Amino acid sequence: MKTKIMINGLPGNMARIVAEQAFVNPDFAVIPFSLSSERSAGRKYLINDSLSVKLIPPTKLVKTLCELKEKENFFIIIDFAIPAAVNINGKAYCNANIPFVMGTTGGDIAVLEEDILKSSICAVIAPNMARQVVAFQAMLEFAADSFPDLFKDYSLKAVESHQSQKVGTSGTAEDFYMERDPKKQLEEWKIPKEHLGGHGWHTYTLNSDDSNVQFEFTHNVCGRDIYVAGAFAAICYLADKMVSGGSGKGKVFSMIDVLKK
């Protein structure tokens, strides 16, 4: 049986790619409605020749959720809206008893988690859906917790490159450099031209205080397929938690939980 999903955030890039791939994925059925901005709302977004999605404004979110809940019964939302809407949307999903994957970065996560814990649904909060990257970060976190003073006298430098539209950073470090200039990305970073509009390249460098020892960790992602695969895994994880005896009700999960399935 296909899992029904509502993809919020169209016509944004991540929402668009997830919608396109979900439509041809035999495990999912895309609900033809998507939360969008006031500017885009009211029109239809054409995913392909067979499916168009009606874009709804934030002011009609609650009403639309109630109508869809009554019509569709069970479905899962995946949210790629704007950071400022994370808590507003999350609370609306909880009140409507609709499980969701929060893929948007931002908001007050503590408040979002509290809303979920008080609800009768479960959710995955996953600002980074790339499972392999999440696992890589977990390995580094394990090392840091297990050997807290191992790099005590080392300095950390981090550089990252994302598409020019990305505003914020994807992490923190003592020395953090963000590249958003397509010309430099192409000429200096050697990022493939076809991926200038969607990539995430990161390098973290640890140097000893005398500069005689250096460790370097790199993860480079071109395109968004790795995030789509993670999004689908998170949706399937939630569906299993909600359907299999309701074991996930009122619980918050992360991509680490999804990885451990």
Catalytic residues: 162, 166
Distance of CA 151 to the CA centre of its chain: 30
Task: Measure the CA–CA gap between 236 and 254, rounded to whole angstroms.
Answer: 13
CB 22 within 8 A of CB 4: no
DSSP 8-state class, residue 2: P
CB atoms within 10 A of CB 34: 29
Dihedral of the alpha carbons of 53, 57, 62, 68, in degrees to the nearest 10: -10
Q: Is the dihedral of CA 98, 103, 108, 109 positive or negative?
A: positive
Cα–Cα distance measured from residue 216 to residue 151, given in angstroms and rounded to the nearest whole number: 13
β-bridge pairing 33-35 and 3-8: unpaired
Nearest Cα neighbor of 236 from 27, 10, 24, 20 is: 27
Structure tokens belonging to residue 80? 């790629």
Q: Please answer whether residues 86 and 80 qualify as being in contact, where contact means their C-beta atoms are separated by less than 8 angstroms.
A: no
